[in-house]
Structure formats: C-alpha cells, structure tokens
Amino acid sequence: MTETSMQIKEELNKCVKCGACMSVCPIYRQTGREEMVARGKLALIEHLLNSGKDHHEQLSDFYRQAVDYCLLCHSCEENCSKNVKITTIVKAARQEITVATGLHPVKKFLFALLTGKRNQLRSLMKIGSWLQLLAWRRLPNGSGLKRRLPLPLIDEQTVIPQLPRKNLDDLLRERPLKRDSRERLLYYPGCTTRYLTPDVGMDTILVLEKLGYNVVVPASWSCCGAVTEAAGDRKSAARLRRQNLQVMREADDDLALVVTGCATCGHTLKEYPLPDRIRVMDISELLYERRDMLEELLQGRTIKEKITYHDPCHLRKGQGITMQPRWLLRLIAGDNFVELRHPERCCGSGGSFGITHKDLSRKILGEKIDDLRDTGAAIIASGCPGCLIQLNEGVQIASMNVDTVHPITLLARLLS
C-alpha cells in the first residue's frame, strides 16, 4: 500500500465484519454482491496485505473491480460503530492500482488539464462553448444538453450542463467586486461553479456582499484535488493541494476565512493541512452564523413553490452539516419546504463514477427520483454542483417538471 501499511492494517483490524455497512451502501443495495460493500472490500484488501506476495502480481480483475465500485459517499463510515476509516483505505487501494496499471486515458487527459496551466482548461471550455451545439442539442427547457453524435462514455440519455460563453473569471472582470472597509473573505468557487455554472458563483458573491463582506476571488485557485485523489492519482492531488495552500499563505493577513458553496470542495479543503489562521466554511455554515442579519434582509419574503432538499454526501457525512441548509430552506420557503423520504441517500454521482459506471449510477439515481416524485416538489435544492448535475439528468430522464438549484440561487432571487 502507498499509505503506511501499518496504519492501514490498524484500521483494517478495527473492522469486526458486522455488516452494518450493508444496510446503507447504495451499490450493495443495487447489486447484492458482498465484494461491493465495505466489509467485502476490506476483507479483500486485508487478504492482499497479509499475502506476503508482491502486491502488483495480486491485483486481479475481481479485486480491482471491487475497489473501483465505490462512490466514496461515506455512508458506511457514518454507520460504522468502530469508526473505521473506510474511504481512506479504499483511496489507498486505488492508489496502489493506479501505480500498477496507470490511469484511464480519459482521466489522464483531464487530470493533466487540472494540474497544468489554468489557461489550458479555460481555453478548452471556451472552445467547447462555441462548438457544443455541433455535437449536442439543447433541451427545450434550457436545463442542459443531450448528444447529437456518438461520444465516448456518453449515451443518449446523458444530460450535461450547457457550457457558458463566459466563465466566472470573465463575469468578475465585467462586474468588479466591491471594495471598502468591510470584513473580507476568500471565496473558493470550485471547478464546476467556475466553468459550468458561473451564475451560482455570482449568486454567492451577491449574497455575501449583501451580508456586508468584501469578497476576494483569487484567479490562482486550482482544483481542490478531490477527483484526482478519488481516482488514486495522489501525485496530482498533492500538487493541487500545494497550489491552493500557497494561495492561502500569500493572502493578506485579514483574509482568514475561506467560503465555498461546493460540498466536495469544502470537504476536501477542510482535510488540507491548513495554515493556522485559515478557517474553511461551507456557505450554509456562514449564512447560519449571520442568520439574524439575513432574516432582517429578507423581511419575510419567501419562495412560493414547494421545495425539497438532497443532502450531498460530502456535506452531510463528510462535514456533518445537516441543520444549516435546512434552516436556510425553511427561512426562504417556510411551510413550502418538505423533506425527501431518504434525503441522506447518495444520488449516484460520485464524481466520475456517474460517467464510468453509468448503468449502476442511474439505478441509484432512480431511487432518488422516485423519492422526489413522491414529495410533489417543484424544486430540489442541493449544496453540491455535482449532485445537481446528476439530479437534473434524473429529472430529464423521468420527464419531470422540477428545477434543480443550489440553495444560494434561491436566496439570491429573494435578495435581488
């Protein structure tokens, strides 16, 4: 293992094979296969560690598939009475596999863009925004695009966000941020918000400015590294982490708060070895801290449509944040806020899992869409851009008239 073998063995020894993980694992719920649940994966990893043979020679297709079939949703960890660091073990096993077999060519290309010069990714997205209608057709309600031509890893039902002509950096150049003596903070938008849904970034900045903050958005932010680490590419993840930590260290002394509206980015940033003065918060945490001022700004205005909420795994299980986004939605929707039957269940996105394991991902998503249909909600909100993309695809496949939005967008509408 690339993690210290002793540390991994200590974690493996904590597992008593009780099977509590089986009741919450979204993949096991669909497949019923022992090797797909945490207990089965840990047994295989433990056997490999104890074999005494060269690990690379023991990486069978069965083993690799078992390690690969994991959403890293933390559901098993949340339900584990022994507090086994299951995702840490799975990530270490994936790194071992990546070292032995290399990355998938598509992932290798994408990760090179993420870790390379930022202008490369920005330029590619710009070109894509001009060419998208050649290979994609716009959905009637404007909620995404579907393919026109055969494309790798993308089938006829796949829905992707429409690439904007202007990314968040472009919009910020056109609309300078306010500068005065008010408290300043750093805003970390994340790749999806920055390049695919920049309006969410602008909504976040609008709300923060309404609350009296000067918002600083460094152009030198990099990808948080979650997707590269999940794939076993620790080298790229470490490089991205160093770049972001450098941004934090070079920020002015009064810039001690980093706010993000992406559950995955927030979870990842909080696991960095942060400088002593730096604190990372999800936007819902900050809004709850400023709830008195926010209630005063809203002056009783509410959204009239029925709203429900999907817990992002990296927010609920990764960061333990459940109350704050619900407080916000009740504030802006009142009695129109309703709970899903299983808001805690993973939507099946899992970063690249929804692309590389599409059939299984959609089966997991189907549970969420059935749950959504039962609420009768016109809006489903979630604090994870990746979840919103997945949920939107499910809504489109089911031909449902439901908007998928970030809570900050709903709040911005009321404050505009």
φ, ψ at 199 (rounded to 5°): -60, -35
How far, in Å, CA of 211 to CA of 298, rounded? 11
Amino acid at site 78: E
φ, ψ at 120 (rounded to 5°): -65, -50
Does the domain at 296-415 match CATH 3.40.50? Answer given as yes
Check for a shared fold between 5-101 and 168-289.
Answer: no
Q: Sketch the domain layout of the chain as residue ranges.
A: 5-101, 105-147, 168-289, 296-415
CATH superfamily, domain at 5-101: Alpha-helical ferredoxin (1.10.1060.10)
In total, the chain counts a number of residues equal to 416
How far, in Å, CA of 331 to CA of 310, rounded? 17
The token pair at 249 is 């260290």
Residue environment code for 329-352, b if the CB has 16+ CB neighbours within 10 A, otherwise e: bebbbeebbeebeebebbbbbbbb
The token pair at 294 is 């926010």
H or E segment to which residue 185 belongs: strand 184-188
Does the domain at 168-289 match CATH 3.40.50.300? Answer given as no
- Overall pTM surpassing 0.85 (yes/no): yes
Q: Please write the tens of the pLDDT for every residue from 226-275.
A: 999 998 898 999 999 999 999 999 999 899 999 999 999 999 999 999 99
How far, in Å, CA of 354 to CA of 347, rounded? 9
Dihedral angle at the C-alpha atoms of 370, 376, 379, 384, nearest 10 degrees?
A: -30
Instruction: Identify which of 164, 158, 155 has the alpha carbon closest to the alpha carbon of residue 128.
Output: 164
Instruction: Identify which of 214, 230, 266, 210 has the alpha carbon closest to the alpha carbon of residue 71.
Output: 230
CA distances from 208 to 145, 211, 286 (A): 31, 5, 9
CA distances from 105 to 63, 226, 260 (A): 21, 18, 30
pLDDT by residue for the chain (416 residues), tens only, comes to 444 667 888 899 999 999 999 999 999 999 999 999 999 999 999 988 887 655 555 678 899 899 999 999 999 999 999 999 999 999 999 998 888 888 776 676 677 666 666 666 666 666 555 556 555 666 766 677 666 555 566 666 777 777 778 899 989 988 777 776 678 999 999 999 998 899 999 999 999 999 999 999 999 999 999 999 998 898 999 999 999 999 999 999 899 999 999 999 999 999 999 999 999 999 999 999 999 999 999 998 999 999 999 999 999 999 999 999 999 999 999 999 999 999 999 999 988 788 888 899 999 999 999 999 999 999 999 999 999 999 999 999 999 999 999 999 999 999 98
How far, in Å, CA of 25 to CA of 346, rounded? 9
